Chain A
Amino acid sequence: MLVIEQLQYATTPRYNFPQTEHDTELHKRLLEASLRTMHTIKEKTFQPFDTELLENMVQKPQTSTSPDLEGRTLSTLLTPLKPIHDGTPVVGIDVSGIKIGETETGILCAVRGAVVWNLNRRYRHLRIGPFPFHITEENKRELFSNLNGGFSPETNYRPSPLSETIGRLCSLVERWIQASISYSANESIILWDGSLTAGFPGSALSDVSHLLRTARSQHNSVLAFSKVTSIRFLGWRITDLVAKREGPCLFEVEDLPLSITKNSNLLGRMYVAKLAVNGSAFRLDIDRALMREDGMKSVQKLLGNELMYQGYPESLRLAHIYSTFTANDVIGIQSFLTREYGLRIMPRYSMRKALFGPYGTGFED
């Protein structure tokens, strides 16, 4: 077993991640949650998810509208950034989930998390999982309640369709890993995938606030990068506002009249970050509880200590790559399920193909 450099990580009573690169508590909890759902599927049949679909899933190119905002006062909101090279560790966290197949009573899915550490530009990763889950209408409440164990129970639990539960499961697992890192990392920059918005299933406001508070108590800064955003300002997508600006720079959109309603669920201060000269721009949320200057400084530290791939932090990019499921993963997990749980594979019936023959294109619901 490998021991990662410890200097930046303080020992805490509950979590010591990544002292041994394993948080047994976290694994145990996820494993227990997984097994609790899986024991119901022995000897059942399941329709596997078509891995060809996975192969064909290509991200749609983003439209590149570039509004001409020259001469407007928006440039006053633009802050050029200077990298600070001080050896601050960077930790990227991401979690992926995938539907593996369907049983008579529910869906089979798998979740995997990845943490990538950048210590002086030496990258190390830990993959947690994959953990298979059999989610049914009957067990999903219990599952989320179990996974919520460390967090506050969802007061406004509302039933969601099974198809949405994978996203919710991912959010919960992600929170677990984020909690683990928030406790164990010290004086580090912690990168989350997505935004610092709370208040949706699997991401309770109190939990996210608690996570941010914990991170701050360990002198960490949490920065959340969204790869794609739909937030607009005067009809322009916010990331397009800095398309013609020279990076690296931060563009604060916090006080602009945006297409979203601002409320207490936004736990981050919202920016558009263009962190490489010719890179792309991303929505960046910085923990609102940090002083504006401290948040800015964290981004400059990120610039100084992290590699940027087209303006996106390498640790987060790697975390995404390591957690993402490939078609090979799906086949491997399906093979595991058939062998360990005696599941029998049934050909997936395609209503589209049955109805439309060769014209039955598009994904099945």
Chain B
Amino acid sequence: MELDLRIKKMRPFKKVGNTLHVLSFPGEDIEKGEYLLIEDKKPGKAMIAQIIDVQFANVPGVMEELLRSPDTDDSAQGEDADPMDIMSHILYIQDARLLVCKIYGTVFDGKIDPENNWLPSRTQSSIHKLQTSALLKLANISKGLRIDLGTTHDMTPLSIDACEMDGRLNIITGKKGTGKSHLSKLLALGLVQHGATVVVLDINGEYTNLGLTEDGTKNEHHEKIHVLSPGQNFKVTLYQTNLYVVMRILTYALSLPGTSAREFRHIWRALEESGTVTLLELGGAINRWKCNQHVRDALYSRYYSLVHSGFFTDNMAEAMDLEALLKKSESNGGGVIVINLSDTSPADRQMVVEFVLAKLQEVLSERKIRAVFLFAEEAHLYLRETYWDDAVTRMRHFGLFTTFVTNQPNTINENIYRQADNIFLLNFVNEHDLEIVSRAARVDAETATSIVRDLPPHHCLVLGNVVKDFPIVVKVKPMNVQTMGQTRYFFKQKEEAG
């Protein structure tokens, strides 16, 4: 039965802490993630709350009503002679819904105040949907150096301010196939558009074609994309690599014990003095060095790891100067340096990453470049344990701003969630994963678990500074970039071949 003019207005029902329950009736087009404005004219305030769940209202007697009502498709069993059409009211009440909302602040004199310690009147306040465009305006989102993310549920374009990613720690996470890499590419290119230098630790070689359109032609970013494949176009000499960097590789990537590390330091200094810091001379020096045989064996095994990685060379002509590339990228108005780790063994991968990170730290600490945005895909596969704390504490002071991208939220250190400034959550259904992401300080646990669970692919819940702490669901826009991160299917290929 239609109840065209009978739609009851939404009413505040209960408030506990920052949770507001709103009673809503059929006919209201309400979705999770939308914002409501609860206006109370008497105090001249309005509460901003986001719907995080839509439930059936606990109407007394509904159970009895449902038990005795015939199946909806079995109308032959009975009929109502109800000339006053009261049953439609009864059914209308049965379909009443309870909107569980989180309060995000109060609008007073056209400005948002984070306070939520007042109660709007149950009877006098009016509730209506807050359009995203109005929220963006109120909260000053989508201003500054804009990176277009996509559109919200009400088709409002959502842009974030690149400045809000500057000096911040970010996380992009979601289950497989939800569009994490797509979003991370969008953000990386968005930062580059504003002149930033982005370094991507690309575990699957997904970013290597960022400079190409879907049809394989060069896109507008092509000149700014530099793909470095270790052992191929990314080799370095020991001469370029100072002791600090080599020691980090040996200690963190190759697990050289302390005693051996001390001997290695002596050997390196001796080579430096003689001006012969090459792979060849290093091998000879270890062989000749007077030390314990166990130490020598330990140094030899690491030396061969360096040699066999193919990452180090004595040929200056084939060596690549990362520092120079970083400087060039910055002076040319930004660029993406993709470290393609897809064809690198796990041990070599760690060596390369240690080299890159040490080099970045070196050039940043010496202020040779201003800052670097680091995108680390599945970082647990190549980052040492201590890096997590470095990312939170030290790195940002040097100007290295990390964005972690993963489909396994448990692989990211808990501190990272606590300290993250911006979080881009794509769909998760696994309770354990949801529980982990909900630990983030920037996210209300209930909001994360409730909204993220129902996100369709390529929809993202954006949290943190970039949205001024107003969680917003956005459908991430498509990009005209050749996609490499898609899963390669066996049967799909067969079909296409057929």
The judgment on whether A and B are partners is yes
Q: Which residues of A contact B (CB under 8 A)?
A: 1-2, 21-23, 27-28, 31, 34, 51-52, 54-55, 110, 123-132, 321-322, 326-333, 335-336, 339-340
Residue contact B81 to A321, C-beta cutoff 8 Å: no
Decide yes or no whether B76 CB sits under 8 A from chain A. yes
Closest B residue to A18 using CB positions: B79
Residue contact B82 to A328, C-beta cutoff 8 Å: no
Q: Which of B58-66, B264-272, B421-429 lies at the interface?
A: B58-66
Please indicate the chain B residues that have their CB under 8 angstroms from the CB of A129 in the complex: 81-82, 86
Please indicate the chain B residues that have their CB under 8 angstroms from the CB of A331 in the complex: 59-61, 90, 93
Report if A126-B65 is in contact (Cβ < 8 Å); known contacts: A331-B59, A333-B86, A335-B92: no
Residue contact A130 to B61, C-beta cutoff 8 Å: no
Decide yes or no whether B84 CB sits under 8 A from chain A. yes
Residue contact B81 to A27, C-beta cutoff 8 Å: yes
B80 CB contact (under 8 Å) in A23, A127, A340: A127
Return A133 CB to nearest CB of chain B, in Å. Answer: 12
Residue contact B81 to A326, C-beta cutoff 8 Å: no
Residue contact B64 to A328, C-beta cutoff 8 Å: yes
Closest B residue to A130 using CB positions: B86
Report if A335-B68 is in contact (Cβ < 8 Å); known contacts: A51-B61, A328-B60: no
Residue contact A328 to B61, C-beta cutoff 8 Å: yes
Closest A residue to B75 using CB positions: A2
Please indicate the chain A residues that have their CB under 8 angstroms from the CB of B84 in the complex: 31, 34, 130-132, 336, 340
Report if A2-B90 is in contact (Cβ < 8 Å); known contacts: A51-B60, A54-B60, A331-B59: no
Residue contact A54 to B61, C-beta cutoff 8 Å: yes
Residue contact B81 to A332, C-beta cutoff 8 Å: no
Return A323 CB to nearest CB of chain B, in Å. Answer: 10
Decide yes or no whether B6 CB sits under 8 A from chain A. yes
Instruction: Write out, one digit per residue, whether chain B residues 295-325 have a CB within 8 A of any chain A CB (1) or not (0).
Output: 0000000000000000000000000000000
Decide yes or no whether B284 CB sits under 8 A from chain A. no
Residue contact A128 to B60, C-beta cutoff 8 Å: no
- Residue among B77, B80, B91 with max Cβ neighbours from chain A (10 Å): B80
User: Bound state CA distance, A27 and B82, in angstroms?
Assistant: 8
With an 8 Å Cβ cutoff, the count of chain B residues facing the other chain is: 27
Residue contact B90 to A329, C-beta cutoff 8 Å: yes
Residue contact A329 to B79, C-beta cutoff 8 Å: no
Decide yes or no whether B78 CB sits under 8 A from chain A. yes
User: Bound state CA distance, A207 and B190, in angstroms?
Assistant: 87
Please indicate the chain B residues that have their CB under 8 angstroms from the CB of A329 in the complex: 61, 65, 90
Please indicate the chain B residues that have their CB under 8 angstroms from the CB of A2 in the complex: 75-76, 79
- Residue among B59, B81, B92, B93 with max Cβ neighbours from chain A (10 Å): B81
Return A51 CB to nearest CB of chain B, in Å. Answer: 5
Please indicate the chain B residues that have their CB under 8 angstroms from the CB of A330 in the complex: 61
Report if A328-B77 is in contact (Cβ < 8 Å); known contacts: A54-B61, A336-B84: no
User: Bound state CA distance, A54 and B62, in angstroms?
Assistant: 12
The 5 closest A-B pairs by CB, nearest first: A332-B90, A327-B61, A326-B61, A327-B60, A328-B61
Given contacts A27-B81, A321-B68, A331-B93, 9 further A-B contacts (CB under 8 A): A28-B83, A123-B77, A125-B79, A126-B80, A132-B86, A327-B59, A333-B86, A335-B93, A336-B89
Return B460 CB to nearest CB of chain A, in Å. Answer: 40
Please indicate the chain A residues that have their CB under 8 angstroms from the CB of B64 in the complex: 326-328
Q: Which of B144-196 contact A (CB under 8 A)?
A: none
Please indicate the chain B residues that have their CB under 8 angstroms from the CB of A34 in the complex: 84
Please indicate the chain B residues that have their CB under 8 angstroms from the CB of A123 in the complex: 77
Please indicate the chain B residues that have their CB under 8 angstroms from the CB of A55 in the complex: 60-61
Residue contact B81 to A328, C-beta cutoff 8 Å: no
User: Bound state CA distance, A51 and B93, in angstroms?
Assistant: 14
Residue contact B89 to A335, C-beta cutoff 8 Å: yes
Return B418 CB to nearest CB of chain A, in Å. Answer: 45
Please indicate the chain B residues that have their CB under 8 angstroms from the CB of A21 in the complex: 79, 81
Please indicate the chain A residues that have their CB under 8 angstroms from the CB of B76 in the complex: 2, 124
Decide yes or no whether B260 CB sits under 8 A from chain A. no
Please indicate the chain B residues that have their CB under 8 angstroms from the CB of A321 in the complex: 68
Decide yes or no whether B94 CB sits under 8 A from chain A. yes
Please indicate the chain A residues that have their CB under 8 angstroms from the CB of B61 in the complex: 51, 54-55, 326-331
Return B93 CB to nearest CB of chain A, in Å. Answer: 5
Please indicate the chain A residues that have their CB under 8 angstroms from the CB of B86 in the complex: 110, 129-130, 132, 332-333, 336
Residue contact B93 to A328, C-beta cutoff 8 Å: yes
Closest A residue to B82 using CB positions: A129
User: Bound state CA distance, A55 and B58, in angstroms?
Assistant: 13
- Residue among A126, A127, A331 with max Cβ neighbours from chain B (10 Å): A331
Please indicate the chain A residues that have their CB under 8 angstroms from the CB of B65 in the complex: 326, 328-329
User: Bound state CA distance, A123 and B492, in angstroms?
Assistant: 54
User: Bound state CA distance, A132 and B68, in angstroms?
Assistant: 21
A22 CB contact (under 8 Å) in B81, B91, B92: B81
Return B122 CB to nearest CB of chain A, in Å. Answer: 12
User: Bound state CA distance, A126 and B68, in angstroms?
Assistant: 13
Instruction: Write out, one digit per residue, whether chain B residues 89-106 have a CB within 8 A of any chain A CB (1) or not (0).
Output: 111111000000000000
Return A354 CB to nearest CB of chain B, in Å. Answer: 22
Please indicate the chain B residues that have their CB under 8 angstroms from the CB of A131 in the complex: 84
Please indicate the chain A residues that have their CB under 8 angstroms from the CB of B62 in the complex: 326, 328
User: Bound state CA distance, A360 and B83, in angstroms?
Assistant: 40
Closest B residue to A32 using CB positions: B83
Instruction: Write out, one digit per residue, whether chain B residues 6-22 have a CB within 8 A of any chain A CB (1) or not (0).
Output: 10100000000000000
Closest A residue to B76 using CB positions: A2
Residue contact B60 to A52, C-beta cutoff 8 Å: yes
User: Bound state CA distance, A340 and B86, in angstroms?
Assistant: 10
Instruction: Write out, one digit per residue, whether chain B residues 229-248 have a CB within 8 A of any chain A CB (1) or not (0).
Output: 00000000000000000000
Q: Which of B30-83 contact A (CB under 8 A)?
A: 59-62, 64-65, 68, 75-83
User: Bound state CA distance, A129 and B89, in angstroms?
Assistant: 13
Closest A residue to B80 using CB positions: A127
